[in-house]
A and B are shown apart, each in its own frame.
Chain A
Amino acid sequence: MLSENGISASTPETKDFIRWMTTEAWNNYQKDRMDKKIIVKNRIDSHPIVIPNATKGKHYSSPVITLPTEDAFDFSIEGPDELGLIVLHDSDGVFKIAGTPQVTGDFHFTLRYKYHGWLEGEPLLERKIPFAVNPNPRDLWKDIPTPTDIQFFKEDCEAEQIIIKAGPDGSPRKDMVAASKRGRSHAQEGKARDDHFRLFHSDDNDWYIIAVADGAGSARFSRKGSEVACNTVVDFCKTKLADASAFEEKINNYRNANDEETARKILGDAVYSIVGNAAFMAHKAINALSDNVEGTKPKDFATTLLLAICKKLDFGWFVASFWVGDGAMCIYNREKHTARLLGVPDEGEFSGQTRFLTMPEIFRDARSLYQRLRFGIVPDFTALMLMTDGVSDPMFGTEANLNNIDRWDDLWDKLSNGFPEDDIPGVDLSDDNENVKEGLLKWLDFWKPGEHDDRTIAILY
C-alpha cells in the first residue's frame, strides 16, 4: 500500500506505520460509535415516556407508548410481569402495559434497546422508568369498633323499618325506613358515630314522625346531643299528635279557606306550637343535659336537626317540618319530576361550618324560628327523604344542587340500582318489603373519595 503510493519504507517502519494507523483509526471508530450511541441514548432518555401509576387490584391499561424507531430498534421492557402486568407489543417501539397489579410500591421498569449500528455481543442500552402501584384506598380503611366503655356509647350502626300494612279500605300505606352508619373517618380511629335518627308511626291516627340529626364532629359529646334531639322532638310530637283532631281541623280549614292568609296564619301557629316547640324542647333538653354533666357546655353536644311530621288526608298529604343545620330534607315526586326542599340548609362558608340546634340564636326570636318551619299540603309523592350531610354532600356536592331535580332523580336511581361497580345492591323500596332496612344500611357503604362522614338517611315511601 505504501509502495503503491510511492512511499518507500523499511519493514519496521511499515509495521509501525500500520500499528499507528490502525490504532488511530480504531480510536476514531470507537469514538464515532460512542458518539452515535450517546446521541441515541440522550434522545431516548429525553423522549417523553409517561407510564401513569396504577392501583392495586384495579384493572390498569397504560396509554400507547411510542418510541423513536429512527434512532433505535428491538425495544423491550422489563419489570411489568413481576407486578402481574403484561406488555402488549404492537410493533417494535410501540407498546402498552395492561393488567391488574397485585403488589404495591415504587418500582422501576427497564427499557432496553439497540441503537442503529449496534453489533452482536454489545450490551444493550437501557433507561429506567419509574412506576408506582398505589394501594387501593379502600383496603386501607380500618374498622375499629367503638370502645363500649366510653361515656355516651352508641352502636356503630343502626337501622329501623316501620312497615305499615294496607288500611281498612285496602289501599296501601307508606312505609318508613332509616339507616345510620358510622363514617369511615370515625371507624379508622375507633370513634363513635355522631349521627342519630328516630321514626314513629301512630297506629291510632296514622301520623308519621321522622327525625334525623348530625352531631357536630368538633363537639365532644355530639353523639349524645343528636340522640337527645331526636328523642325529644319525636316524643314531644308524639304527645302533641296523640289527639290531633283540632290540628287536623285547622288543616281542613286551611284547605277550604276563602281567606287563605288568615287560615294559613292559624295553621302556621299550630305547626309552630308542635314542630317549633319540639325543636325548642330539644334545645332545652340539651341545655339541661349539659348542666348535669360536669365540665360540659351545651356546645359540647352540638347537633343539627331535621324533623318532619306528616299524614295522608283525603285531599293529599300534609307535611310540616323544622330544619336547622346542613343535610337535606325533601319531598320527591318521581312521576311529576319535582323535588320540594323543606327549608334551606345552613351551610357555612367553609365545609364543616354550619348552624346547630344548640345555638341560642336559633330560638332568639319567633321570626327566625318561623323561618325554619315549613308546612303545606302536597299531592301524593314518591318519597319524603331526610338525610345528614354524610349522604347529601357526596350525592349533591353543593347547596345549589339540592334545588336541581335531576340530582334528586340521580339519588333515587342510585337508591334503586345501587352501585354495581362496587358490589353495592340497590334498595328495594317497594311497599311492605320486610328486608328494606338491611338493604338501606348496606347501601350506605357507597364509596366516594374524600366523603367519609357518618351517614344517615330516613325515607318515607
Chain B
Amino acid sequence: MSRRLPVYLLIDTSGSMRGEPIESVKVGIEAMLSTLRTDPYALDTVSISIITFDREVKQVLPLTPIDQIQMPEINVPESGPTFTGAALEMLCEKVDQEVRKGTPDQKGDWMPILFLMTDGKPSDLQVYKEAIPKVKSHHFTNIVALAAGPKAKTDELLMLTDKVFQIDSMDSTAFMKFFKWVSGIIEEGGKSIGATDDVALPPPPDEINVVI
C-alpha cells in the first residue's frame, strides 16, 4: 500500500440545507472529484471521507481512494439541530481508525486535511468546545472551515481554525467555486507533502471572504 493523503469533508446536513443548498454541495463535491481525478498526484494519493451532521452524525463515505469513490446518498432531514460537536467526535474516531500510522515496517499515511462546511452554528456547543482540543491533537496539516449563507456563524469556527471562509449565497456557483478551490488545496497538499508542516493555501476566489 502506498501512502495516502487523507481528506475529511464534514458537511452540515441540518434542515436548512434542504433543497438547493445540499444539491449544490453535492454538485460541488462531484466536480471536485472530477478535477482531482485528472491530477496524477491526487489520483495516486488522495483518499476522501465524507461525514454529514444534523441531528445525527453519519460517515456516508468511509476513507476511500478517489479513483474508487462513488458518490454516496446525502439526505437532509426536514428540521432539527446541528450536532457539529458530535461530528468532530466522530471525525477523531475515524481518523484513529482509518489513517495509518507509521511503523518500522510500513510508512504511515500523510497527515490528514479537514474541511468543514456549515450554514449555521453548533447546537451542541459544549460538546463542540470539548472536541476542539481533540481535533487539534490529531495533527491535521490544514483545517479549513466554510461558513455558508447568511445564518452561518463564524465565531465558533474560529475556535477550531484560523482558516475560516465565508460565502454569502448557497447556490451552486458559490459552492462550485469553493470546491474548486478546495481541489487546489488538496492538489497542493499532495505536492508539498513533507516539505512543510502547514500546506500553504492558494488565495481564495473572490466570492469567498476570509474571516479575520
Contact = CB atoms under 8 A, between A and B. Distances in A.
B70 interface: yes
Interface residues of A, number: 35
Given A350-B194, A400-B104, A450 B44 contact: yes
Contact of B2 (A55, A184, A350, A450): A450
Interface in B142-199: 191, 193-196
Interface string B93-117: 0000000001111110011000000
Nearest to B31: A106
A185 interface: yes
B140 interface: no
Nearest to A130: B70
Given A137-B44, A218-B195, A451-B2, A55 B67 contact: yes
B68 interface: yes
B31 to A, nearest CB: 10
A351 B104 contact: no
A141 B43 CA distance: 11
Given A106-B34, A217-B195, A398-B104, A140 B70 contact: no
B39 interface: yes
Q: Which of A52, A53, A188 has the most CB of B within 10 A?
A: A53
Interface of B is mostly: loop
A138 B40 CA distance: 7
B30 interface: yes
B106 A397 contact: yes
Contacts of A217: 194-195
A352 interface: yes
Nearest to B30: A106
Contacts of B193: 351-352
A141 B38 CA distance: 10
B194 A352 contact: yes
A367 interface: no
A399 B37 contact: no
Interface string A376-415: 0000000000000000000001111100000000000000
A269 B119 CA distance: 70
B194 to A, nearest CB: 3
Contacts of A400: 104-105
Contacts of A449: 2, 44-45
Contacts of A333: none
A351 B107 contact: yes
Nearest to B42: A137
A375 B194 CA distance: 33
Given A140-B39, A352-B193, A134 B67 contact: yes
Contacts of B106: 397-398
B60 interface: no
Contact of B40 (A137, A350, A353): A137
Contacts of A137: 40, 43-44
Contact of B194 (A53, A353, A397): A353
Contacts of B67: 53, 55, 132, 134
B177 to A, nearest CB: 20
A398 B102 CA distance: 9
Given A134-B37, A135-B38, A397 B107 contact: yes
Interface in A332-361: 350-353
B3 interface: yes
A448 interface: yes
Contact of A401 (B4, B41, B102, B105): B105
Contacts of B30: 106
Contacts of B2: 448-451
Nearest to A105: B34
A450 B68 contact: no
Interface string B54-82: 00000000000001111100000000000
A185 B37 contact: no
B37 A135 contact: yes
B173 to A, nearest CB: 20
Contacts of B68: 52-53
Given A53-B68, A130-B71, A140 B105 contact: no
Contacts of B39: 140
Interface in A134-153: 134-135, 137-138, 140-141
B43 A140 contact: yes
Nearest to A54: B67
Contacts of A131: 70
Interface in A218-232: 218
A210 B69 CA distance: 47
Contact of B41 (A53, A106, A185): A185
B107 A398 contact: yes
Interface string A197-221: 0000000000000000000011000
Nearest to B104: A400
A144 B115 CA distance: 32
A353 B38 CA distance: 29
Contacts of A104: 37
A140 B71 contact: no
B43 A450 contact: no
Nearest to A218: B195
Contact of A53 (B44, B70, B191): B70
17 contacts: A50-B70, A130-B70, A132-B37, A132-B70, A134-B37, A137-B44, A140-B43, A188-B41, A351-B3, A351-B193, A352-B194, A352-B195, A397-B105, A398-B107, A401-B105, A449-B45, A451-B2
The 6 closest A-B pairs by CB, nearest first: A352-B194, A400-B104, A140-B40, A450-B2, A351-B194, A449-B2
Given A352-B193, A398-B104, 11 more contacts: A50-B70, A53-B70, A132-B37, A132-B67, A132-B70, A138-B40, A141-B40, A217-B194, A352-B194, A449-B2, A450-B45
